[in-house]
Structure 1
Amino acid sequence: MIIDAHCHVWPDEIARRVLADRPVGLDPVHDGTLSGLLKTLDASGIDMALTLAVANVGRTVWRTNEFIGTVDRTRFIPFGTVHPDLSVEENLRALKENGVVGVKLHPLFQEVAFADERTRDILVGLAENDVPVLSHVGSGGGEAENRRGAPRDLHDMVAEIPGLRLIAAHYGGYQVLEEAEKWAVGTDIHLETSWPPSMGTLPRERVLDIIRRHGADRVVFGSDWPMTDPATEIAAIRDLGLTSEEEAGVLGGNLVRLLGLDLPTT
């Protein structure tokens, strides 16, 4: 079982506009649509994917969750959006009434900061309702955006919210791996492996050391589709030198356990 924990999707016409702007200065590899993602999963031998949808402003939270709540649940696991412009209750209702099972936070594109009390209030509500969260952590934007997603603030936030099921993308610190090693590795969170344009640009020995120090059973595979090619990222995981048990866990088993997925036995 292989599950990609990090796949951004948009309605077809919006995907074209978003990707034309080269998010985070990267050239997309795929088209960002649900149909395009399904083709990629089949071509890469991936069984399922977390489909991530993010509302940059509060007024689009409902329709964003409405869109992501319609995905095919046999292949996709819908992770939707919240925003501090809305109350905790409004955010929770937009998730529940659209059947969205998890949340994606993106400090680079949303007014979401780990040190912001409004963000923490929402995350307390998510933790109390056992809603898992995957968040971008680290850099990739301007100074203000990078500060919103700083690994140190993530560390402090997680310590204050017991029971939060949080997955920190990009090993807990995109483009700031030293900060990630100091503030995210070894904490009570799961780390996710994406590092566009490719995880293969990181030193293999350093990645393996991070995974082992954090605990391979608390690391999950993510590609950051459509900005990377998942098949290439899977190959990079398999090239790390993990044991077969560790590799199986990272590529899917750990996420199945974390999310409590009820999958058919083959």
Structure 2
Amino acid sequence: MIIDAHAHVWPDKIAELALSANRLPELNARGDGTVSGLEADMAASGVSVSCCLGIANEARHVDSVNRFVAGLTSDTRFGFGTVHVDLSVEENMASLRRHGVRAVKIHPLFQGFALDDPRLWSIFEAFGDEIAVITHVGEGGSPEANRLSSPKMIADIAKQFPALRLMACHFGGYKILDDAEEMLNGADVVLETSWPPSLSTLRPERVRDLIRRHGAERIVFGSDWPMTSPAEEIKAIDSLGLSDDETKLVLGGTLARVLGIDSPWS
């Protein structure tokens, strides 16, 4: 049962505009960002469940984004909502609970606040073990934006909030994998595998060794659709030379446990 931890979708009427506005240098989208486009790629790749990540770049959009992702949730889609530090802890929590959202995506590059912002930490404290978190970590924007997230910040969050179900995208450090491997060695954080334009651009033996050091039970598969092809990213995982049990944990078992999804692989 393959579960994709990392897919971005928008309402059909704004998907093209949103995808263009969030474009990262040197990356070309492989999908259209719509729900129907995601479902087509899921069918083609064998993904059973996709985590649909919503992001509010501005505080005023938090509740509408949470409403949208809550409406997406089904047997094949798990909606990840959003929070923003320009809202109070109480306002953020009220929006999540109002819409029944049980997980959120943080994206410092687009939201404009750092992972070590005290306002964000106050939100994490309120999450406890109730709300799961997946966050971008690493580069991908301007030098100023790149400084908003780092492997060290993830390690500090993991220490400060041991109950938080924390997942760090891009192995905890997009384009700064050396730092991630050093800072997150032994950290109690789940790492996600996406690496646009493809995981296959990293040496397979390095990825395999990283997964085995950290433990497949703390690794989740993510495609970062629509920036990548889920089918190609699954092929990259299958080509790492992991054992069958390790591969099943990475491709779905670990995430099923983290999110409380019934799965024969968990």
| Class of the TM-score when normalised by the shorter of the 2 chains | over 0.9
8 Å Cα contact 2:30/2:227 also seen in 1:
yes
SS of 1:47's partner is strand
8 Å Cα contact 2:221/2:250 also seen in 1:
yes
Check if 1:103 corresponds to 2:98: no
Shift of residue 264, structure 1, vs aligned partner: 8.7
Aligned twin of 2:258: 258
Q: What CA deviation, in whole Å up to 9, does each residue of 1:7-65 have, x standing for no partner? A: 01111122101223461121100000111111110111110010000000100000010
2:213 partner amino acid? R
Matches of 2:264 and 2:160 in 1, distance apart?
36
Residue ranges of structure 2 left out of the alignment (5+ in a row) = none
Shift in CA distance, 254/14, structure 1 to aligned 2, threshold 3 Å: same
TM-score, length basis structure 2: 0.96
Matches of 2:22 and 2:77 in 1, distance apart?
25
Aligned twin of 1:27: 28
Aligned twin of 2:170: 170
1:115 partner amino acid? D
Aligned twin of 1:61: 62
Correspondences of 1:212-231 after superposition (within 5 Å):
212-231=212-231
Q: What CA deviation, in whole Å up to 9, does each residue of 1:132-156 have, x standing for no partner? A: 0000011101122111111112211
Check if 1:75 corresponds to 2:88: no
Shift of residue 263, structure 1, vs aligned partner: 5.2
8 Å Cα contact 2:109/2:148 also seen in 1:
yes
Matches of 2:225 and 2:185 in 1, distance apart?
24
Check if 1:156 corresponds to 2:178: no
Bigger Cα displacement from structure 2, 16-25 vs 56-65:
16-25
Matches of 1:77 and 1:60 in 2, distance apart?
20
Q: What CA deviation, in whole Å up to 9, does each residue of 1:109-149 have, x standing for no partner? A: 01331221001111111125x21000001110112211111
Matches of 1:112 and 1:134 in 2, distance apart?
15
Aligned twin of 1:127: 128
Residue ranges of structure 1 left out of the alignment (5+ in a row) = none
Shift of residue 186, structure 1, vs aligned partner: 2.4
Shift of residue 162, structure 1, vs aligned partner: 2.2
Q: What CA deviation, in whole Å up to 9, does each residue of 1:44-101 have, x standing for no partner? A: 1110010000000100000010111101411100101000000111111111111212
SS of 2:109's partner is coil
Correspondences of 1:131-142 after superposition (within 5 Å):
131-142=131-142
Matches of 2:208 and 2:143 in 1, distance apart?
30
Matches of 1:72 and 1:89 in 2, distance apart?
24
Shift in CA distance, 20/111, structure 1 to aligned 2, threshold 3 Å: closer
Matches of 2:245 and 2:148 in 1, distance apart?
36
Matches of 1:21 and 1:132 in 2, distance apart?
27
Correspondences of 1:159-238 after superposition (within 5 Å):
159-238=159-238
Matches of 1:152 and 1:22 in 2, distance apart?
25
8 Å Cα contact 1:12/1:33 also seen in 2:
yes
Matches of 2:260 and 2:75 in 1, distance apart?
15
Aligned twin of 1:240: 240
Matches of 1:67 and 1:257 in 2, distance apart?
25
8 Å Cα contact 1:185/1:210 also seen in 2:
no
Shift of residue 4, structure 1, vs aligned partner: 0.4
Q: What CA deviation, in whole Å up to 9, does each residue of 1:180-203 have, x standing for no partner? A: 101123210100000000000001
Matches of 2:263 and 2:215 in 1, distance apart?
24
Q: What CA deviation, in whole Å up to 9, does each residue of 1:226-258 have, x standing for no partner? A: 000000000000000000000011000111111
